[in-house]
Amino acid sequence: MIKSILKISIIILLCSVSFLAKAQVGFDYAQYDVGFAAGINQASSTDVQTLKTTPSIRLNFTYNQTPFVNYIFEAEFGRLKGGDSLKTTTQREFENHFSALSFRVQVQAGEFINYSQSQFANALKNLYLSSGLGYISNNVVARSNDILLLANNQIIPGEKKTNEIFIPLRLGYEFKIFNSYNQPAVKIDLGYQYNFIMGDELDGYIAGKHNDAYSQVTLGFKFAIGGVTSYRKQIHY
């Protein structure tokens, strides 16, 4: 009797393991990604009157709690530029060679919606919102009216080298490329990011009633590097 029960238990266990193994096909993903991105920036809210487009690059490391909930650590290097000393009434102009570190939480629509029954929902699942906290080091290498102010014994309007906290707010889409095991292996990230500076020295000027801000459009690539685990829903359709 005991032997019969033991045999039945072993058969049930083997069948359960087999079923679970089959059920996991298409559910696996890597928990860790590394990547890089390039972007174009605008000092969209500063104390100068005209906007100029400048480049930036960024490196990132991502921990994927799920395929659609991501924690991103990022380092960024770039330039910000704006104003015109000859064609604006304020005669302000600046160039900032900055570096920044940030941490963001990114949540994609696939975490909440059922995308298995609709092609539209399946496409929508990679749309995301992201926000967090950052730290930017400003290095204003050029500012238009320093010489004029010094000649008139006036106070320079702001420091050239400063450090400020900022809040990034990002909207984007992540194109996932799957490997032969239906795991997301490469991700192409297209996003728009607006960075709210908790200060007024991004441009080297302290003026006006509002803090500074800058915006970015970026294109990046992320590569899965390991820590394979499983998700509760099938990822690839």
Q: What is the mean pLDDT of residues 3-31?
A: 54
pLDDT band at 147 (very low <50, low <70, confident <90, very high): low
pLDDT band at 90 (very low <50, low <70, confident <90, very high): low
What's the Cα-to-Cα distance from 77 to each of 139, 153, 173, rounded to whole Å?
A: 11, 34, 22
- Compute the distance between CA of residue 85 and CA of residue 98 in angstroms, rounded to an integer: 21
More confident of the two residues 14 and 58: 58
The pLDDT tens digits of the residues spanning 26-56 come to 589 999 999 999 999 998 877 677 788 999 9
Give the three-state DSSP class for 234: coil
Structure tokens that stand for 47 in this block:
């104390």
Structure tokens that stand for 112 in this block:
């909440």
- For the chain, what is the mean pLDDT? 85
Question: What percent of the chain shows pLDDT beyond 90?
Answer: 62
Assign a CATH topology to domain 38-226: Porin (2.40.160)
pLDDT band at 19 (very low <50, low <70, confident <90, very high): very low
pLDDT at 82: 80
Category of 152 on φ-ψ map: left (φ > 0), alpha (ψ -120 to 50) or beta? alpha
Strands 28-45 and 53-66: what pairing? Answer: antiparallel
- 């809040």: which residue's tokens? 167
The answer to whether the beta carbons of residues 26 and 234 sit under 8 Å apart is yes
Task: Provide the whole-model pTM.
Answer: 0.82
Question: If you count DSSP H runs as helices and E runs as strands, how many of each does the chain have, helices first?
Answer: 3, 8
- 């500074």: which residue's tokens? 212
pLDDT at 143: 73
Structure tokens that stand for 83 in this block:
């104003």
- Phi, psi (rounded to 5 degrees) for 183: -100, 140
More confident of the two residues 234 and 237: 234
Residue 221 pLDDT exceeds 70: yes
Structure tokens that stand for 29 in this block:
């993903």
The pLDDT tens digits of the residues spanning 153-184 come to 555 567 889 999 999 999 999 999 999 999 99
